[in-house]
Structures are given as C-alpha cells and as structure tokens.
Amino acid sequence: MDAIRTAEYARALYSAHGDKAEAEVAQKMRRCQEVGKTAEAEDWKSVRQMILSLRGPNQS
C-alpha cells in the first residue's frame, strides 16, 4: 500500500472509530501475521503508525 492510501485509510478509520481504531488495526495486523500474510501485516503496521501520529502524544 502506498503512503497516500495508508494515510487516507488511517484518517478514515480514526474518524470513524476514534481511539479504538488503533486497537482494531493492531488486531488485524496480528491476524495477518498468524496466517503468514506478512505483506498485509506490514500494511496494517503502517496504518497503525499513521493513526498514532494522527492521535498525537498521550496526556498525563
């Protein structure tokens, strides 16, 4: 998945699901890793990293 599609997908997920989007993406990434879909897992990892950057740092 290219960078533009990754960013668009991450924004859409974050807009729709808020902070839960990261957990959903992490779950999808793990499922892909378990069944050996490493390329797809890397795509989900990129989406997760983009969601983290959209969300910003945690506040204490």
Tens-digit pLDDT profile for residues 6-60:
999 999 999 999 989 999 999 999 999 999 999 999 999 999 999 999 888 777 6
Q: What is the pLDDT of residue 55?
A: 86
Residue 37's pLDDT is: 97
The pLDDT value recorded for residue 20 is: 94
pLDDT at 60: 65
Q: Report pTM.
A: 0.86
Contacts of 47 (CB under 8 A, 6+ apart): 1, 6, 9, 10, 13, 25
Q: Nearest Cα to 54, choosing from 4, 12, 2? A: 12
- For the chain, the first-to-last Cα distance in angstroms comes to 34
pLDDT of residue 1: 78
